[in-house]
Structure 1
Amino acid sequence: MDITQGKPGAGVKIALYSVSAAGRSLLKSAVTNQDGRVDAPLLQGEEMQVGQYELVFSAGDYFASQGIDLPTPRFVDRVTLAFGIAHADQNYHVPLVVSPWSYSTYRGS
């Protein structure tokens, strides 16, 4: 959600990584649709595993594409959300509420 303009963040690039002691590994990348969501779950079925993950949102590129005047360097650029999946049989919705100056997240439904 783009709270600067009060609308869904359409066109935000997202990368999903699995994180382990050996490092992080890119699992998927996607771009948000007109509703500010990805078209399909990033993990589903056998892909959904207990573990540590990171979602990286290209928020700075999104705000630049909206014509918003941003400082150099950008205060909020790539937003990395590190989170864990403890129950692979549950739904994990990880929304981002963002502006060029702040962001927040929560486990959605």
Structure 2
Amino acid sequence: MSFSTHILNAATGRPAAGVAVRLERDGTVVARGRTDDDGRIKGWNPGRGVHRVVFDTGGLSTFYPEVVIAFTVDDPDQHYHVPLLLSPFAYSTYRGS
């Protein structure tokens, strides 16, 4: 199982580079890092269960200092891609490929 994410700053139309991101399971941090120049993090292997990916978006949006997305890994053989599209007063996500 692998996990990746991508942050797009919809206000600028550009990837959000250098954003701190952490992945949690059962209240424990299982991975942390910063988005690359293309706004991506990839290669994390969190395992089965309910996870929370926490984006430290304070430098991009003063209204949303952080965005938390909870999701379930039920098949550890699949890839899970959870992108974040962030604008000043809204955000959206989906399960990507």
Query: Fold conserved (TM > 0.5)?
Result: yes
2:28 alignment partner in structure 1: 25
1:14 alignment partner in structure 2: 21
For residue 96 of structure 1, report the CA deviation from its aligned partner: 0.5
Largest Rg, 1 or 2 = 1
Identify the structure with the greater strand proportion: 2
Within-5 A mapping of 1:93-104: 93-104=81-92
Identify the structure with the greater helix proportion: 1
In 2, Cα distance between equivalents of 1:98 and 1:54: 17
Q: Tell me the TM-score normalized by structure 1.
A: 0.77
Aligned Cα RMSD in Å? 1.3
Higher relative contact order (CA 8 A, sep 6+): 2
In 1, Cα distance between equivalents of 2:11 and 2:18: 15
1:41 alignment partner in structure 2: 43
Structure 1 residue runs without a partner (length 5+): 64-69
In 2, Cα distance between equivalents of 1:105 and 1:95: 6
1:108 alignment partner in structure 2: 96
2:4 alignment partner in structure 1: none
2:55 alignment partner in structure 1: 57
Q: Counterpart of 1:56 in structure 2: which amino acid?
A: V
Count residues in correspondence.
90
Q: Counterpart of 1:59 in 2: which secondary structure?
A: coil
Identity of aligned residues (%): 38
Structure 2 residue runs without a partner (length 5+): 1-7
Q: Tell me the TM-score normalized by structure 2.
A: 0.86
Q: Counterpart of 1:92 in 2: which secondary structure?
A: strand
